[in-house]
Amino acid sequence: MITDIYGHDESDLRWSVYEIIALAVTPFGYIVYLFIAIKKKIT
């Protein structure tokens, strides 16, 4: 049985995907937003 870093098994894969997206969006989404904003100012 495969478990991810949250200790979920494969049947909980859908929830772990949402958690990974949430973790990725929280810090990196803001960085991506800033990057896009800076790029728009340059071009």
SS (H, E, C) 13-43: HHHHHHHHHHHHHHHHHHHHHHHHHHHHHHC
> Is the separation of the CB atoms in 14 and 8 below 8 Å?
no
| DSSP state letter for 6 | T
Name the band, by pLDDT with cuts 50, 70 and 90, for residue 10. Answer: low
Query: What pLDDT does 11 receive?
Result: 58
Q: Is residue 16 part of a domain?
A: yes
Q: What is the number of structural domains in the chain?
A: 1
Over residues 17-30, the pLDDT tens digits come to 777 777 777 777 78
Q: Is residue 18 part of a domain?
A: yes
> Is the separation of the CB atoms in 10 and 2 below 8 Å?
yes
Q: Is residue 25 part of a domain?
A: yes
> What is the pTM for the complete model shown?
0.35
Query: What pLDDT does 1 receive?
Result: 44
Q: Is residue 3 part of a domain?
A: no
Q: Is residue 4 part of a domain?
A: no
Q: Is residue 1 part of a domain?
A: no
The parent domain of residue 23 ranges over 10-42
Q: Is residue 5 part of a domain?
A: no
